[in-house]
Amino acid sequence: MKLIILKKNLKDGLRSIERICAENPSLPILKNFLIETIDNKIKLAATNLELGITTFISGKIIENGSVTIPLNIFNSIINNLQVEKINLELKKDKLIIKTDNYQAEIQGIKKEEFPIIPQIGNIKQFIKIKNSLLKNALISAVNSATADNRPELSGILFDFQITILKLAATDTFRLSEKTIANNHFESNFDGNFKVIIPLKTIQEVIKEIQSNESQETKIYIDQNQVLFKTENTEIISRLINGEFPDYQQIIPKNIANEIILNAEELINAVKLSSVFSDKFNEIKIIINKDAKNVEIFSASQSVGENKYLVPAKIQKMAENQMEISFNWRFLLDGLKNIKSENIFLGLNDLSKPALIKSPQDESWIYILMPIKS
C-alpha cells in the first residue's frame, strides 16, 4: 500500500472514527483502526463490537493494500505534523509515515485479524432526512435517555408510522417526544416499525452530522441493526432488543393550569435559581391566579435564597395558588430545546407530570415529573 493524503482529509476521517476506538483487554486489536484502499477510495474503519464506523476519504492511491494500526499513536503523529501532504507506505506489517523531514514506522496488525464490520440486511428501504433536522431531533431526545439498568430505556425510540416519524426517550423522570411529519423526510418503507437505537450510537451520529448540516442522512433498518449513512461515513449499530414503554398514556390530555412564559427569561431564571438549589437540585415555581408573573424560588439552608419574577400569562388556573418543585437540571434540559419566544407550561396535580412545549408547535413535547417538596 502506498498513499498520498492531504493532512486535512486524513484528520477529518480520523475524527469520524476516533471516539469508538478504545483499549479492550480481551481483544487488543480493537484499539487499532483499519486503513484500506477500495475502489479508488481510502477507507478508514473502527469498531467497539457494539457499533462500527466506516468513513471514506480521498487521496492519491499509488499502490493498493490494507493494514490496521493503533489509532492513538497514529493520531498524535498526524496532529503534530506541520505539513500539508502526508505519505503513507506499507512494508510488511509496518506503516511508514513520511514527510520531507520526518519519518515514522508504526507496527501494524494484518487486516485479517480485524473484526468484520457487519453489513445491513435491508439495503432497499431507507429514510432520508436532512442533517440539520435530524440533529435537532436527536439532541432534543438524547438528554432524556438513560444509561441505567433498564436496557429498553438506554436508547431512543424510532417509531415510524409512514406519515410520521416519532423519536422518544425517557429515564422515567422525564420523557421527550419529537414528531417529524413526512414532508420533512423521504422514505420508501411500506410498513410501520418501532426500534430502539442505543444512546452511544445516537451520540456518535450527532457528532458526525454536526459538521455538515446542509447534507442528508439515510437511515437503514433491518431485523437487529441500524445504519446511518452520510455522504462519506457509515455508522452501523445493533438495535436494543426490548420494548419501549407504551408512553402515550402519560401525555396529559386535560391540563388544569396553563401558563405561558417568556422563554429567555424563564431559562435565565432557572439558571440563576440553580445557584441556591439544594442537593436535590430543587427549585420552586410559585403561581398566583390573576398575577402577571410567576415566581421562581430556590433556597439552601446553609447558603441563602433567591427569587426571580418571570413575566407570565396565566391562561387557566384551577386553584388560587400553586407551588410546584422541579429538578432544575431536568427542567433546563427541556427548556433548552424550545426555539420559540414563549414556553407553554401545563401543570396538573403535584403528583402528576407537567407538560412543557412551545405554545405554537406541537411537534416536540417534554413531560417532567415534579419533585416531592
Report the interface residues with other proteins, using CB under 8 A.
25-28, 47, 49-50, 52, 115-118, 148-152, 170, 172-175, 192, 223-225, 238, 241-247, 249-250, 280, 282, 327, 330, 351, 353, 367, 369-372
Distance CA(227)–CA(220), nearest Å, equals: 5
Burial 306-319, CB ≥16 within 10 A → b, else e: bebebebebeebee
Residue 290 DSSP symbol? T
- What are the angstrom distances between the C-alpha of 117 and each of 18, 46, 50, 227, 352? 16, 9, 10, 12, 46
Residue 297's beta-bridge partner residues? 284, 307
Closest to other proteins by CB, 70 or 198: 198
Residue 132 or 179: the one with the smaller Cβ distance to other proteins is 179
Residue 152 beta carbon to other proteins: minimum distance, rounded to whole angstroms: 6
Helix (H) or strand (E) holding 309: strand 304-316
Hey, what amino acid is at 239? L
**Nearest residue (CB) to other proteins, 38 versus 62:** 38
Shortest distance, position 17 Cβ to other proteins, whole Å: 16
Helix or strand holding residue 72 (H, E): helix 71-80
Q: Which is nearer to other proteins, 65 or 245 (CB)?
A: 245
| Shortest distance in whole angstroms from residue 236 CB to other proteins | 8
Nearer residue to other proteins within complex by CB, 140 or 327: 327
- CA 287, 288, 292, 295 torsion-angle sign: negative
Phi, psi of 209 (to 5 degrees): -85, -10
Residue 10 C-beta: closest distance to other proteins, Å: 26
**371/373 Cα distance (integer angstroms):** 6
Q: Using alpha carbons, list the distances in angstroms from residue 342 to 34, 80, 91, 182, 338.
A: 49, 47, 63, 26, 8
Looking at the Cβ atoms of 97 and 244, the one nearer to other proteins is 244
Residues in the chain: 373
Q: Residue 264: which region, alpha, beta or left (left: phi > 0; alpha: psi -120 to 50)?
A: alpha
Q: And the C-alpha cell for 263?
A: 422563554
Q: Which is nearer to other proteins, 20 or 61 (CB)?
A: 20
Q: How far is the CB of 366 from other proteins (least distance, A)?
A: 12
Neighbours of 258 (CB within 10 A): 17
* Residue placing its CB nearer to other proteins in the complex, 26 or 320: 26
Q: What single string gives the DSSP state of each residue in 221-252?
A: E-SSEEEEE-SSEEEEEEPB-S----GGGGS-
Q: Which is nearer to other proteins, 29 or 81 (CB)?
A: 29
Report in angstroms how near the CB of residue 363 gets to other proteins at its nearest: 21
For the CB of residue 246, give the shortest distance to other proteins in the complex, in Å.
Answer: 6
Min dist CB 345 to other proteins, Å, is 17
Nearer to other proteins, 173 or 276 (CB): 173
Least distance in angstroms from the C-beta of 167 to other proteins? 17
**Contact (Cβ atoms closer than 8 angstroms) between residue 71 and residue 33:** yes
Q: Output the smallest distance, CB 290 to other proteins, in A.
A: 27
Residue with cell 401545563: 346
Lookup: cell for 150:
433498564
